[in-house]
Amino acid sequence: MARRTLELPDSVPLSPIIDLWDQQDPDGPDATGIYDFYRNLADGELTGQKCLSCGKLVFPPQIICPSCNSTELEWVKVPEEGELYAFTELKLGAPIIVENYAPFVIAVARFGNYPENGFQISGMMFDESYEELKIGDRITWDILEIKGPGDKKRYWYYFKKL
Amino acid sequence: MRNVAIVGAGITKFGVREASWKDLVQEAGKAVFDDVPNLDKKEIDSLIVGAAQPERWVNQTHVAPLVAELLGIEVKRVISRTEVACASGQAAIRYAWLAVAMGLSDIAMVVGVEKMNTKFMNFSQSSMINVGNREFDGANGFTAPPFFALVAQRHMHDFGTTREQLAMIRVKNAEYGSYNPYAQFQKKVSVEKVIESRMVAPPLTLFDCSAITDGACALILASEEKARQLTDTPVWIVGGVQHVDYAHTTNQMGDLSHWVGLRKAARDLYEMLNIKPDDIDIAEVHDCFTISEILEYEELGFCRKGEGGKFIEEGQSYVGGKVAVNPGGGLLSNGHPLGATGVRQAWEMVMQFRGEVPKERYVDNAELGIAHNLSGMAQLHHIMAYSLKKRSDVKFGR
């Protein structure tokens, strides 16, 4: 007697958990309350927030100020010029979905007068190598378009040397 | 609070194991049951399982009852899994300690376990981006090696720490690892070999990084009354603290070359026990990367801020130096199965205090040991203190 078999599909779709930009939905069950952050990126601006109640800067953006619990947060543009605080180059073990871009520089930059009145933000750098950079270099942010999978178009940011 | 002792400890070989998550749990369980032969399993009333990402690496959640089944334990009091990434194991010990200390549990079992090597290694590694803020740092490729590379770069920039000093951490821990039959790596290495190994994220090379490891470790904790019945050499848990210095994301981290949270945690522990850093004989610290151990010397107060590089260069952290740091070989030699690491540190304390380690890495006449575990991008620091003497019997603050 032939054994009963279960035929599985040839391939299983890519798991969304390896997608680095999976938390950007404006609506539906995965909607994020900070979607305006991504709308601002699409419009060409990297933004943080300022609490209208206590005046503190907030990054990453949130729906409630973690210092005073106010819900009145306004979007503020991250200053365009910042300083390279630390950097490395990921040569081994890059996340699967960006493996083709490795090695790339991962940096931490300071914008404005951090920590009192500024931001410290991580970012990728694509056109620079580790050897060409130094602590204190002037850098700026720019908008990164994430195309795919399929028709999907999303927005992120990256750093570049001035 | 009641006195609480570790009365048994068992460990698996750490490494790239041809063994399932469940196999590892059973191996560690058998090892600890063999270590306390007069314990009747039925007396174990509680179980805490330290496991960081079983749902990612072996697709299994709700792991605590699974472990109870695999080890044949009927839990009547407290059962849970703890997850704080790389410190999930120490968290498990902490909650078992609390349960016994407050009288809810009399005998509690702790199992720390992680199975990280799978057929899909790039998927395993990609899972580490979820330890930081996935949406804002993970999306920039921020896994552990690049983060600790930034810490190393800043420490070198701010304090003049050298590439060679980083390598010396691995040299020391590799030497002790060579006397640890359970360690993933048991070969001694030279400074040159560390520096010339494959670049992962400059300035860190492959040998500056702890490995992706499979392993498990288990403990039995007991109240004083039960401990006296089960062993002649109880190892007492005399204190423990945790501290979050910044929340989670880069913007909250401040200066990367300072681990303020660890500094505060150490201060709290020393106040709790009325001790000074000089009173510590053995320190198992979280050397996930070579740079981590240098910061830990400084923030734990073994040397002045910025002088961690000098501390290793002078050999102060070897057995026989000012304080024996990672005589078990640390994470660098043992490997770092996330949920098992904190439990492995306690296992090392038990073996040290019982004098059951090879003489080359034995710390003679040790009275007080601490184990430091950190989690994530060094956001959260956890320290526990162990001694051959009960807290009430030992005269700290000598």
pLDDT score, position B395 = 66
Rounded to whole angstroms, the Cα distance separating A64 from B283 reads: 41
- Give the pLDDT confidence score for residue B244 in this predicted structure: 84
User: Are both A91 and A157 inside the same structural domain?
Assistant: yes
The H or E element that residue B293 is part of is helix B290-299
Report the 10 Å Cβ neighbour count for A61: 20
Q: State whether A145 and A90 are in the same domain.
A: yes
**A135 and A104 in one domain?**
yes
End of a domain among A60, A77, A94? Answer: A77
Q: From the options 3.10.20.340, 3.40.30.10, 1.10.645.10, 3.40.47.10, give the CATH code of B4-120+212-230.
A: 3.40.47.10
- A96 touches B at CB < 8 Å: yes
A86 and A161: one domain? yes
Residues A73, A84, single domain; the answer is: no
Extract the residue ranges of chain A whose pLDDT is less than 70.
14, 16
Going by the DSSP 8-state scheme, the letter that residue B139 receives in this structure is G
Same-domain check for residues A70 and A126 = no
Query: Which element (helix H / strand E) includes A104?
Result: strand A104-113
Residue A141 is inside which H or E element, if any? strand A138-147
Residues of B in contact with A95 (CB under 8 A): 125-126, 129, 138, 141, 143
List all residues of chain A from 29 to 58 with a beta carbon under 8 Å from chain B. none
Please choose, from the candidates B389, B317, B369, the residue with its C-alpha nearest in 3D space to the C-alpha of residue B171.
B317
Residue B303 among the catalytic residues? no
Q: Do A90 and B145 touch (CB under 8 A)?
A: yes
**A7 belongs to a structural domain:** no
**Phi, psi values for residue A99, rounded to 5°:** -55, -35
Give the model's confidence band at B396: pLDDT under 50 very low, under 70 low, under 90 confident, else very high. low
Q: Are residues A105 and A154 in the same domain?
A: yes
ipTM, two decimals, is: 0.94
Helix axis angle for B290-299 and B144-159, nearest 10°, is 50
Residue A34 lies in a domain: yes
Q: Which of B243, B286, B336, B372 is catalytic?
A: B336
For the ranges B47-56, B60-69, B388-397, the lowest mean pLDDT is seen at B388-397
Tell me: do A67 and A128 sit in the same domain.
no
Q: How many CA atoms lie within 13 A of B192 on its CB side?
A: 0
Residues A100 and A132 in one domain: yes
Nearest to A95 among B56, B141, B251 (CB): B141
The CATH 3.40.47.10 domain(s) of chain B lie at: 4-120+212-230, 124-210+235-387
Q: Is the pLDDT of residue B393 over 80?
A: no
A104 and A151 together in one domain: yes
B124-210+235-387 CATH, one of 3.30.1240.10, 1.10.3330.10, 3.40.47.10, 3.40.190.100: 3.40.47.10
Q: Which pLDDT score, from 0 to 100, does residue B121 have?
A: 83
Query: Which positions ≥6 away from B198 have C-beta within 8 Å?
Result: A92, B205, B206
- Summarize pLDDT for B330-376 with one digit per residue, the tens: 999 999 999 999 999 999 999 999 999 999 999 999 999 999 999 99
The amino acid sitting at B175 is: E
Q: Number of folded domains in chain A?
A: 2
Contact at CB, A95 and B154, closer than 8 angstroms: no
pLDDT score, position B398: 47
Distance from CA of B21 to the nearest CA of A (A): 21
Q: Terminus-to-terminus CA distance in chain B, angstroms?
A: 24
The reported pLDDT for the residue numbered B247 is 67
Residue A84 shares a structural domain with residue A159:
yes
pLDDT in tens, A12-24: 776 767 788 888 8
The residue range of the domain holding A39 is 24-77
Q: Give the helix/strand (H/E) hosting B196.
A: helix B191-196
Q: Which two tokens stand for residue B126?
A: 């990609």
